[in-house]
Chain A
Amino acid sequence: MDIDRPSDPQVSVVSSDGTMFHTTLKSILLSGTIKDMIEHIGEGGVENMGAIPLQNVDSKTLEIVIKWIEHHKDNIQPTSEEIKDKTADFIDPWDENFLEMDLDKLYNLITAANYLNIPQLLWLSTRKIAMLIKNRTPQEIRSLFNIEDDWTPQEIEAVQKENQWCEEK
């Protein structure tokens, strides 16, 4: 396989709604899904493989993903262990800025990161959601994510009693 060759050939990907994007091999290999795909492509060569169809990612989201992978193509991707370890105090300001998007886009990004298997991006985006959950009361969380309160009064009382200990006194 010629994945590691120094030159960085162009690769095309096609979103679910048919928009084609061009990026480089090095960037696109951050996606575990596509890496697997390319590794199994055999001797045809990366240059001749044509555009990669991505059925589960629409063009808007794919554009965001490609922006991210192109920025991070030269960074060493941390292993999943490392990701888990740093329950995240430090975060690259570029990433912080990058993730300033509305929730809809963020949801799509998460789905895409999950589908494309880009652990670092999945980590960043779910972390962003976690930050939204932090320091909010259950009611605020319900409002934020538009979740219906489906507890019966008895149930919520029981649950509240159970985790009363964690609230400030």
Chain B
Amino acid sequence: MEELRGNGSVKRSLSNIEISDDEEFLGFNAAEQNDSRNMIQNIKKICTDSSSDETTSKRHLANRTTDILDPVYKLPFKYGWKRELVLRAEPTMSKEKGEVYYITPSGKKLRTRHEIQVHLHDDLTIHNFTLVKEAIGASPDDEIIRPAKYYNYARRSNIDPVVNESSIQTLGKRVPKPKMPKGASPPPPMNVHNTSLSSPSQFSSLSTSSNNKIFSKDNHQDFNKSSNSSKKLSVGSGKGSKQKGDARCTIHCLSALGKIPQLQCKICLCLFHHECAKASENQNTTFICENCNIKFSNSSQNALKKHHQLQPPTNKTHNFESHPQTVITYNGKKFIMYESDESNVNFDPKTNREVAQKTEAGSKTSNSRNDTLHSSVSPFNFSSNFLQNVSIGFDVLLHTFQYLKVQELQRAARVCRMWNLVANSSILWRTVRMKNSSIHDWDGFVKTLKRNGTTHLDLRKVLMGNQEEAWRDFSAKIAELDQLRGIDLCRCTPNIVENLFNTNPNLRVINAISLKDERINLENLSSKNSALEELRLRSTHANGIVLLNVDFSPFINMRHLSLTTVENLASIFENNFLAQMTNLVSLELGNCDQLNDQQFSDNLMQLNQLGRLRIEKGSQNFNINLILETIAKHLPNLHQLELINCDVKNNFVEAIKECQQLQRLLLIPTYVSQSAATNFMIMQGVMSLTNLTSIHWVVTNELLRVTELYLDQSDNSQKGKKSPDKHNAVSTTKLKDCIPVLKPVPGKEDEEEDDSNNVNKQQQVEIVALKIVESILSKKLGETKVKLLKVPHANTWRQSLEL
């Protein structure tokens, strides 16, 4: 704070004598008030020293009593200027009575003669202005006189919006943004009331601080918060204390200790105990507390006593709509909430204030809205719907925090108690993502996660300075997080994963992608790892990763296994490891060209829970048709099949036709040779699947390029022969993104075929645009979503269907 305040003064002095507009609203404490006043005086001094003009102003200051009513000072009002006299709330605190501001016709607020000088126009001179802190007797429209501050925000909204609107118009004052200068101290929750709007008797009642104090009470008795409806007024016989702090009842009242007060005053809406107010149950709707009773009768007298000479005639009265006390339920406990003078509160006043900011109209956003600034008064009153608004505010804050990274969340947690409470909500900490963040202190990090009950840690794309050191720290500390259930790792060495098996046996999910080495030793795996349900290992190493000491027997609960870059994949068939994982729902295997397809299919047929299968690189000797047959016979639950870079061999159509359980299909065929035949088989095969809901067919950019080249060539070779038809045909087929399909193109309508027959009579291959293929498939497959994608071969492995 001190430092920041220092900043503020630096800023002030740097900006010479320009004072921020917002300063008026900051609500300085006494010291700061003096600061700023001294500053203004200093500025004045500077002005008088530097400019001969200013000597006259000095004289004016000296002769303040004589010519204060001089008509020369009224001239600015003709040009639409306003003068504002702000009286100190507590005149005893300094010799000065208050501050004087001039407001230009354009609405800028000026505090110093220097500023005024800059804004002079027409025949106005600095002599037409006086900063003497007294009224100069202009009409109330031109000269605004108001006391400085009131510690009240709960009733801001009750100020008649019509009046405020008019005052806005007459003032023409610009509405400042709620943002405040950096160096500002956090302002107290106060509001400045225009004297013209409130009577002195209300001053005294309003000048209580707005800190809301809450008393906890483990009491679930029914509380009737419905407002009273009767219009009848009667006088209660209560004997409440006359001090305003004691007027309302709390659960600490001696005569009704521990009870939530339920008797509500008709006028001030304060809550009282029946016992304390000596009221009977049937007075519930007609009760008026003693305070209000007294005020009612005395208000006319009181109105004349204070600030008498400043009171423009007014017939406005406050309507007491807000509830000075409210019962809220928090964490299953009931709290009674009321305004208190004490600054040291049990519960965070921000609950109210923060929520007020979020939910109420502009005037509540900051105390920079004073009486003259109710342009955006919300028609819906915060406190009238208090409980709902509180929960909305909490909710919104929670929503907002979901978009913060861990560091930002931690910073937000330091803002105030309320934010701390929300920022530590377990829902925000369940999954911690460290993308693009760095962790400097693993010890503190792990402790924080442990405290907040994080169950999923995502370290993908985490920023690390010294990788080796950081991962070592990670390995050393991660064991403390025994509540962790899932972890995502990226770009780490396999020994980090090996270590995890040992240190965190509670882990259910381990995803380690972009492993940095070529071998991983699985000897740490033991029966204590049987909780593991998901394991994904993927290496960036060119040759893939070698599994050492494979023993998958602990993985009886494994539900999702993904080993797409394992070099010695065949080892998972040893001792029937794969076949024993009968709970497996999802299986992803890469490098399938090294597998014995018969062994694979034998293992596969045991996994009758399997719902999703992904096979990468099933090329060359690997017979995909055999797998398809196994699927058709033994895997009735397999709804999703992804064949990535698999050779489509003869009989593919027959094989896939049997797999009628398939619903979602992703096909990325290899296009080494015979691409026309491949495409032909895919089209035909896919059309036979009646239960499909979606088919994604990925065509590599390489194939498209080759096809394009082929078209160019044939174009050139045929240029010699001329045929009017051909030009048409070429222009249609010359479209980009075409693939070759063996003729006859499956599903293509006859008349179209006739057309193309004319073109490529001698050829067996037809060049078909992707769009046409898509439309043919869509037509044949009815409801199925058909999508043809273009992807470079190097990225084919990234394609997948979401679960």
Contact = CB atoms under 8 A, between A and B. Distances in A.
Interface in B600-635: none
Interface stretch (A25-33, A34-42, A106-114): A106-114
A141 interface: yes
A158 to B, nearest CB: 11
Interface residues of A, number: 57
B186 A129 contact: no
Interface string B153-188: 000000000000000000000000111111010111
A143 B189 contact: no
Contacts of B410: 163, 166
A62 to B, nearest CB: 11
Contacts of B367: 146
B594 interface: no
Interface stretch (A1-9, A44-52, A64-72, A131-139): A131-139
A53 B359 CA distance: 19
B425 to A, nearest CB: 15
A84 B444 CA distance: 27
A131 B182 CA distance: 18
A150 interface: yes
Interface in B421-472: 433, 439-445, 447-448, 451
B647 interface: no
Nearest to B395: A114
Interface in B403-432: 403-408, 410-417, 419-420
Interface centre among A17, A84, A110 (most CB of B within 10 A): A110
B349 A143 contact: no
Contacts of B350: 147-148, 150
Contacts of A136: 411
Contacts of A111: 358-359, 392, 396
B412 A133 contact: yes
B721 to A, nearest CB: 49
Interface in A112-169: 114-115, 122-123, 126-127, 129-131, 133-151, 155-156, 159-160, 162-169
A87 interface: yes
B186 A147 contact: yes
A141 to B, nearest CB: 5
- Chain B contact patch, size range: 35 or more
A100 interface: no
Contact of A165 (B368, B403, B448): B448
Interface string B341-376: 000010011100110011111100111100000001
B361 A114 contact: no
Which has the most chain B C-beta neighbours within 10 Å: A16, A160, A163, A167?
A163
A58 interface: yes
B361 A133 contact: no
Contacts of B362: 102, 104-105, 107-108
Given A16-B380, A58-B378, A144-B180, A107 B4 contact: no
A140 to B, nearest CB: 7
A132 to B, nearest CB: 9
B379 interface: yes
A136 B182 CA distance: 11
A88 interface: yes
B444 A104 contact: no
B399 interface: yes
Nearest to B393: A111
A165 B412 CA distance: 14
A23 interface: no
A107 B414 contact: no
A155 B357 CA distance: 25
Contacts of B395: 114
B179 to A, nearest CB: 6
B441 A165 contact: yes
A143 B380 contact: no
Contact of B402 (A87, A110, A159): A87
A108 B179 CA distance: 17
B4 A139 contact: yes
B401 interface: yes
Nearest to A130: B403
Contacts of B723: none
Contact of A108 (B178, B378, B439): B378
A40 B541 CA distance: 59
A12 interface: no
A24 interface: no
Contact of B416 (A56, A105, A126, A149): A149
B182 A140 contact: yes
Nearest to A104: B362
Contacts of B189: 148
B661 to A, nearest CB: 26
Contacts of B361: 58, 104, 107-108
B4 A88 contact: no
Contacts of B4: 139
Contact of B439 (A144, A163, A165): A165
B392 A148 contact: no
B358 A147 contact: no
Nearest to B7: A139
Given A104-B376, A146-B357, A126 B413 contact: no
Contacts of A88: 403
A147 B419 contact: yes
Contact of A164 (B354, B401, B404, B441): B441
A16 B378 CA distance: 10
A148 B344 CA distance: 12
Contact of B182 (A58, A143, A168): A143
Nearest to A166: B407
A61 to B, nearest CB: 9
B1 interface: yes
B723 to A, nearest CB: 46
B400 interface: yes
Given A17-B379, A84-B402, A166-B406, A143 B348 contact: no
B440 to A, nearest CB: 5
Given A148-B188, A165-B441, A103 B177 contact: yes
B440 A168 contact: yes
Given A107-B357, A139-B4, A159 B379 contact: no
A99 to B, nearest CB: 13
Interface in A48-104: 55-56, 58, 60, 84, 87-88, 102-104
B186 A142 contact: yes
A115 to B, nearest CB: 8
Interface string B591-605: 000000000000000
Interface in B173-218: 177-182, 184, 186-189
Given A133-B404, A150-B349, A138 B396 contact: no
A129 B422 CA distance: 15
Contact of B179 (A122, A123, A143): A143
Nearest to B440: A169
- Among A107, A131, A149, the most chain B Cβ lie within 10 Å of the Cβ of A107
Q: Among A123, A142, A165, A168, which residue has the most Cβ atoms of chain B within 10 A?
A: A165
Contacts of A114: 392, 395-396
A87 B440 CA distance: 23
A87 B359 contact: no
Report which residue of B385, B395, B399, B451 has the largest number of chain A beta carbons within 10 angstroms of its beta carbon.
B399
Contact of A126 (B396, B405, B419, B451): B396
Contacts of A166: 406-407, 410-411, 440-441, 444-445, 448
User: Which A-B residue pairs are the 8 nearest by beta carbons?
Assistant: A165-B444, A104-B362, A165-B441, A130-B403, A163-B410, A146-B366, A166-B407, A138-B414
10 contacts: A102-B362, A111-B392, A126-B403, A136-B411, A143-B182, A146-B366, A148-B353, A151-B414, A163-B411, A169-B440
Given A107-B357, A149-B416, 4 more contacts: A104-B376, A111-B392, A127-B403, A149-B186
Interface of B: 1, 4, 177-182, 184, 186-189, 345, 348-350, 353-354, 357-362, 365-368, 376, 378-380, 385, 392, 395-396, 399-408, 410-417, 419-420, 433, 439-445, 447-448, 451
